[in-house]
């Protein structure tokens, strides 16, 4: 009888997995509303907790501007333009991976990348440990770890170092993701959701580590580099996500993930990314990013929601990546949002800057802790990044 009971349990889990996968395929392929929200809720994964961590070195934007002016004095022909660009990005201060006085002594890409591995492992361990404590879980409870970064390289990747540092299980599934940039926070949640549809009894974590300050090109006086030197900051964020079965044993602090949508825009590779050379990561950042938002994002959101029998008027919470003031203006315009909808996003940009993939996760954390929507509210987590691409995640609070 015991064997029969175990077999029935296994079959039940298999049936839930198959139903979840079927719902996902239907929701993403059909041009008609494929299923009710109630059906999606039955397979929903749950965001159990979100935590963030920063290196301890924080500097106001005024301090950083002064440091740049001193370093580039006599080398840049228009220091007033540099100062104006730094003030235009609406950032009030940022955390740096290293003390500010240590940056001039970084001798090339190798030294900067060594610092990325060392500091990245530290802040990644801090954010993951905090997220697990908030979730009431131990390192041994984690079945899969998704790791996102675009500001350094490591083999083995940082997630492997976290396995050793924190005592994660030796059979943990590791999924390191590199190259997605700013979109990886939302995309990482979506890929963890996909995984948990197949393994509803599992726990997955997304760990994002971005140390943007270590990518600074000190000999590059392009507008893109000057803007990035004033916009990007450093940090790590972790999201704990549980499958439908596992979530029943936990007390999730965040919303449930109902559905996701990925969107790639052809022939836009030059909009955002890196040119990688002997000096490391050289920023590619076109002025056309807001134009891409205006051209595509509204229709993409409407199509995604329409396939689920929804429209934008039913979305009561927006968790958006703080790409920069012009990008946020474009979000508001094309999605018909008011200033209050992106208040936490702009606040995050002002307080800690754009931390690439980590930023939208910090906004999600702040939404949970500071402005949690009413139960039942539908929400959207969205980000855009290199590709050029977007990731949409429909949630319910």
| Beta carbons within 8 Å of 50's beta carbon, 6+ residues apart | 131, 237, 238, 239, 240, 253, 254, 361, 364, 365, 368
What span, in angstroms and rounded, lies between the C-alpha atoms of 81 and 83? 5
Catalytic residue among 182, 212, 320, 389: 182
What span, in angstroms and rounded, lies between the C-alpha atoms of 129 and 318? 27
Helix segments in the chain, DSSP class H: 2-29, 37-43, 61-72, 79-88, 108-135, 158-166, 184-198, 223-231, 244-247, 289-292, 298-306, 325-335, 343-352, 359-370
The two tokens of residue 367 are: 């939404």
182 a catalytic residue: yes
Residue with tokens 């530290």: 122
What span, in angstroms and rounded, lies between the C-alpha atoms of 86 and 64? 9
Sheet with 144-149: list strands edge to edge: 173-178, 144-149, 203-211, 234-242, 45-53, 256-264, 389-396, 378-385, 315-320
For residue 232, the 8-state DSSP code is: B
The two tokens of residue 54 are: 């920063």
Which residues make beta-bridge pairs with 144?
173, 204
121 and 165 in contact (C-beta within 8 Å)? yes
What span, in angstroms and rounded, lies between the C-alpha atoms of 42 and 230? 45
Q: Rounded to 10 degrees, what is the CA torsion of 262, 329, 353, 176? A: 0
What span, in angstroms and rounded, lies between the C-alpha atoms of 151 and 181? 8
The residues that are catalytic are: 182
């Amino acid at each position: 009888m015991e064997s029969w009971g175990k077999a029935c349990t296994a079959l039940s889990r298999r049936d839930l997995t198959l139903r979840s996968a079927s719902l996902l395929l239907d929701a993403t392929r059909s041009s008609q509303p494929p299923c009710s929200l109630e059906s999606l809720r039955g397979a929903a994964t749950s965001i159990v907790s979100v935590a963030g961590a920063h290196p301890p070195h924080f500097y106001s934007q005024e301090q950083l501007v002064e440091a740049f002016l001193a370093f580039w004095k006599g080398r840049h022909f228009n220091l007033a333009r540099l100062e104006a660009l730094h003030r235009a990005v609406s950032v009030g201060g940022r955390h740096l991976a290293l003390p500010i006085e240590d940056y001039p002594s970084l001798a090339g890409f190798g030294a900067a990348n060594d610092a990325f591995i060392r500091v990245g492992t530290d802040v990644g361990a801090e954010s993951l440990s905090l997220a697990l404590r908030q979730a009431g879980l131990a390192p041994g409870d984690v079945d899969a770890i998704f790791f996102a970064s675009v500001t350094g390289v490591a083999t083995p990747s940082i997630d492997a170092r976290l396995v050793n540092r924190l005592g994660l299980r030796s059979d943990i599934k590791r999924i390191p993701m590199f190259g997605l940039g700013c979109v990886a926070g939302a995309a990482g949640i979506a890929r963890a959701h996909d995984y948990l549809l197949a393994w509803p009894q599992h726990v997955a974590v997304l760990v994002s580590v971005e140390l943007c300050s270590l990518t600074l090109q000190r000999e590059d006086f392009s507008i893109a580099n000057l803007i990035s030197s004033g916009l990007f900051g450093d940090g790590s964020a972790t999201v704990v996500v549980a499958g439908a079965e596992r979530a029943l044993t936990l007390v999730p602090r965040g919303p449930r993930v109902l559905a996701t949508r990925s969107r790639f825009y052809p022939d836009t590779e030059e909009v955002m990314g890196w040119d990688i050379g002997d000096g490391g990561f050289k920023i590619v950042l076109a002025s056309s990013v807001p134009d891409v938002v205006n051209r595509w994002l509204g229709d993409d959101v409407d199509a995604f929601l329409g396939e689920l029998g929804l429209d934008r008027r039913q979305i009561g919470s927006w968790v958006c990546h703080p790409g920069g003031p012009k990008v946020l203006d474009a979000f508001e315009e094309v999605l018909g949002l008011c200033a209050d909808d992106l208040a936490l996003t702009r606040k995050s940009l002002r307080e800690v800057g754009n931390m690439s993939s980590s930023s939208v996760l910090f906004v999600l954390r702040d939404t949970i802790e500071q402005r949690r929507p009413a139960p039942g509210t539908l929400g959207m987590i969205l980000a855009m990044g290199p590709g050029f691409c977007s990731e949409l995640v429909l949630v319910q609070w």
